[in-house]
Amino acid sequence: MSIGQSKLINLADIEGKVSPHAAQVKGALKMRAEALSYVKDVAALAAYLGGVVENPGLGEDWAVSKEIYPGVSILFAFNRADTEFPARVRALYSGDKIRTVRGDELAAVTISCANQLLRYVRQSNPGTKLPEVCYKV
């Protein structure tokens, strides 16, 4: 399922502004962001994840989405590092059934999918010295 024009929300929108799971996901993605700079073929990454390449118009360098449950999708939007900001990856959610999934479950699935992104980076960059986090998944 492609995100298309669906409304994108974050975990804090689902659970509330004091969401412990939103902080957990933000920290996990922050640790993985630099490694995603090694993605050379976004279409191959999306295929590896079982998702699709997206263009949600969030100023991202690339984005991929994956339907994690019927009516529930996750979007990973990545921005490369520049002179002002470090690399950044965000997880956003959409779908007509998104509010039926608990926050702790969304956090676990998000981190699992992020680990799959790292496995792709490791497998698609043989012989390259990658950030240490790539070797921990």
Q: List the chain pLDDT tens, one digit each, 137 residues.
A: 456 556 898 888 888 787 889 999 999 999 999 999 999 999 999 999 999 999 988 889 999 999 999 999 999 999 999 999 999 999 999 999 998 998 899 999 999 999 999 999 999 999 999 999 999 98
Rounded-to-integer distance, Cα 104 and Cα 11, Å = 10
Per DSSP (E only), the strands in the chain are 52-54, 62-69, 72-79, 88-94
With 0-12 / 13-18 / 19 or more C-beta atoms within 10 angstroms meaning exposed / middle / buried, residue 124 is middle
The rounded Cα 31 to chain-centroid distance in angstroms is 12
**Could you tell me the CA-to-CA distances from 15 to 6, 77, 91, 101, 106 in Å, in that order?**
19, 20, 14, 10, 10
